[in-house]
Structure 1
């Protein structure tokens, strides 16, 4: 396998993983799919973190997350979508900071991992196996 093909395949795997993990979480917030909270539950989650959640803010945030997850997955407007998604995940990590490191205790480990993966995608770009390079 040539270096370029290996890099493009690696970026495809990273994009599919990052977008593929982000998308169902976002769809759960937007539509309640996959056992997610739906918009009302998402608004409650935001308020639980003492964040504002007036309508249409939860709808806007969930829609942006869906669009970013899909864009990263497909490799369309990848750098911008990955940066925006990384900001969402970094916010989640900051909110989880009081609970420590381990995600099994509600800590920052999992959202920080995905923040860094999305930052890598933003820096590297989508690769050749994308809708838009």
Structure 2
């Protein structure tokens, strides 16, 4: 496998993993799919963090997250989608930071992992293998 082909395969795997994991979480917030909270539950989560949750904010945030997940997964506007999603996940990490580092205790570790993964997609781009 040539270097360019290997790199494009790596970018495809990174993009499919990042978008493929991000999208179901976003759809759970937007539509309640995959055991997600739906918009009402998402609004409750926002309020639980002391954030504004009046309509239409939860709908807009969940909608943007869905679009970001699709963008990363499909490679269409992947840099922008990954960058915006990284900002969302960074906010999540900052909100979790008072609970410490470890994800198993509600800390920031897992969110920061996804921030770095999405930053890699944003910096590298989608690669050549896009639909």
> What displacement does 1:130 show?
1.5
Q: What is the DSSP-based 3-state SS (H/G/I as helix, E as strand, rest coil) of the residue aligned with 1:101?
A: coil
* Counterparts of 2:104 and 2:72, CA distance in 1: 26
Equivalent residue, structure 2, for 1:120: 120
Equivalent residue, structure 2, for 1:21: 21
Q: TM-score, normalised by structure 2?
A: 0.99
Which ranges of structure 1 fall in alignment gaps of 5 or more residues?
none
* Counterparts of 1:109 and 1:21, CA distance in 2: 16
Which ranges of structure 2 fall in alignment gaps of 5 or more residues?
none
How do 1:1-133 and structure 2 match up within 5 A?
1-131=1-131
Q: What is the DSSP-based 3-state SS (H/G/I as helix, E as strand, rest coil) of the residue aligned with 2:126?
A: coil
* Counterparts of 2:31 and 2:93, CA distance in 1: 23
Residues 52-94 of structure 1, C-alpha deviations (whole Å, 9 max, x = no match): 0110000000000000001100000011101000000000000
* Counterparts of 1:114 and 1:61, CA distance in 2: 18
Alignment RMSD (CA, Å): 0.5
* Counterparts of 2:15 and 2:70, CA distance in 1: 10
* Counterparts of 1:108 and 1:129, CA distance in 2: 32
* Counterparts of 2:104 and 2:11, CA distance in 1: 28
Q: Hey, which bits of structure 1, 4+ residues long, moved more than 3 A?
A: none
